[in-house]
Amino acid sequence: MTDYNAPVQDIRYVLDELVGMADIAQLPGYGDATPDLVGPVLEEAAKFAGETLAPLNRVGDEEGAVFENGMVRTPQGFRDAYALFAEGGWNSVPFDPEHGGQGLPWALATALQEMWASANLSFSLCPMLTQGAIELLQNHGTPAQRADYLPHLIAGTWTGTMNLTEPQAGSDLGAVRTRAMRDGKRYRIVGQKIFITYGEHDLAENIVHMVLARLPEAPPGVKGISLFIVPKYLTEGHGASGPRNDLRCASIERKLGIHASPTCVMSFGDNGGAVGYLVGEENHGIEYMFTMMNNARLGVGVQGLAVAERSYQLARAYARARVQSRATGSRGGPSDPIIRHPDVRRMLMSMRAQIEAMRALIYFTAGALDRAKRHPDEAERERHRLLLDLLIPVSKAWCTNRGCDVTSIGIQIHGGMGFIEGTGAAQLFRDARITPIYEGTNGIQANDLVNRKLMRDKGAAVRAFIAGVAETEIELGGVAGEDFLAIRQRLTAARAALAGASDWLIDAYARNIDDALAGASPYLELFGLVAGGWLMAESALAARARLAEGVDPPFHQAKLITTRFFADNLLPHAPAYATMVANGARSTLALPEAQF
């Protein structure tokens, strides 16, 4: 596998031109996020990702995590890399300085997450879940819990996990059976959880499990779920390590990809009950856990982007080096690199354009998160919170679907060598495949988009988003040139398709919810496509402005070309998705169950 070089210039471009880092730096508490700081942070992160994490990616895939005598050993080099990660303060970037964080924007932290996941997806999963546990405790923990756990989690000396899934309860959390029993001010937790990422490992001093469980008298379903902190080692006072808690890793899974990331079966309470500490109020665990889940969903969207970027870099290098056949129009002479063949160029441009759209969408969503948290005007905070809620399922699902598509194209560019493990292209494809599944399958994200985000206000938030797209079309209309005319025409058609599909779903939902939900996945694909196209158009407008200033013409001209490719080759799918939304339900639901 070729080296990973973080695309720092592209990352900085999106942060500055599309997210508006200068504006975010004006938000309360973000004053340190100046260009003089952001630039060096990105450069140092790129260096760490490329020199420390990326070389371990192949090692991790081939060696994998090893389970022995109840312990998990991570692959060679992972412990040293994690120690350097924690010592470098990379775990602390977006968190509260009161507990040791650096207090920098989530938009910047998201850019760093992209680098970690591109360099080594398996490694990046551990800090991603720790990040979610920190967010959960910052929002819902007691002052004592925050004092006990946050300094260690933020420093990275402890790590966090999310314990939801059970053998009989996959995505249906209302079926959770893990029990919690009161024991004075503490609780005793008994049960089994599966698919627990980094549930056991050798990277950190302690592992803090966030566990959903049910009290004996709790009401049925999700309304009877409570949330508990269950540390591997019990803590005393302000976080000093105490005795081992009554929990263990029973096994780890053999998986298609992310081999270096231990996916654990966790057993709680084999000897009387693991000690747990209630977060918030009893029977409100689901609403608290959603803080961690939404954080993780955005993080998984980043993974879709990240693995696609690594695949693109690999395919691009191969296409430049692989010599096969003469290019069209060649007259004699040696064979040419395959990058000169039109279909290979088409595939590379498809990878590039989708990656740029993914990066724009993910970072834009992270910018909405920063504004929802820190904007001084309450109305603006609420506006960005609604936008954030709308974009989280789209960012997670659309970007992970694209990650699978892009890594598949990467194999195709390699030809037969892509199907051979030695090139590294196959690993990226295998690693990417989990991302549409975990943290809520993409079908669940689509249902969430329709059930909760579209229908809660009968489309008001969606219409506000669509109005923003229309404003960009007006701006495009004021720019001369064939490229901007084509971009505007394609974006207008795509925006109209999204508006029509949204109206159809609102009407259909009132008549027959199954008809509406049968179109939920193509609706999410449509939404992501329009969002990506809109932000690509904004990118083209920004690039035009920089070109007028004479700034780095090759870089900014490439932005215009890539946007035109997205408009010509990807946005035309939007009306087809709208057709699927409005017309697909009948045939989707018509076949009798026995006929499948």
Identify the H or E element spanning 314: helix 285-321
Q: Bridge partners of 265?
A: 251
Q: At what angle do helices 460-477 and 482-511 cross, to 10 degrees?
A: 160
Distance CA 298, CA 110 (A): 9
Distance CA 177, CA 214 (A): 7
Q: Nearest-5° angle of CA 19, CA 558, CA 327?
A: 145
Structure tokens, 596: 């499948």
Identify the H or E element spanning 383: helix 378-414
Residues with catalytic roles? 439
Q: CB under 8 Å to 448, separation ≥6 — which residues?
A: 393, 440
Residue 254's alpha-carbon distances to 44, 67, 200, 264, in angstroms, are 34, 11, 15, 10
Residue 445's alpha-carbon distances to 42, 165, 441, 485, 527, in angstroms, are 31, 17, 6, 34, 12
CB atoms near residue 165 (< 10 Å): 19
**DSSP E strand stretches across 71-185:** 71-73, 158-163, 179-183
Residue 242's alpha-carbon distances to 137, 239, 279, 370, 534, in angstroms, are 20, 9, 20, 37, 53
Do 476 and 558 meet the contact criterion of CB atoms below 8 Å apart?
no
Give the β-pairing of 206-214 and 158-163.
Answer: parallel
Burial 559-568 (b: 16+ CB within 10 A, else e): bbebbbbbbe
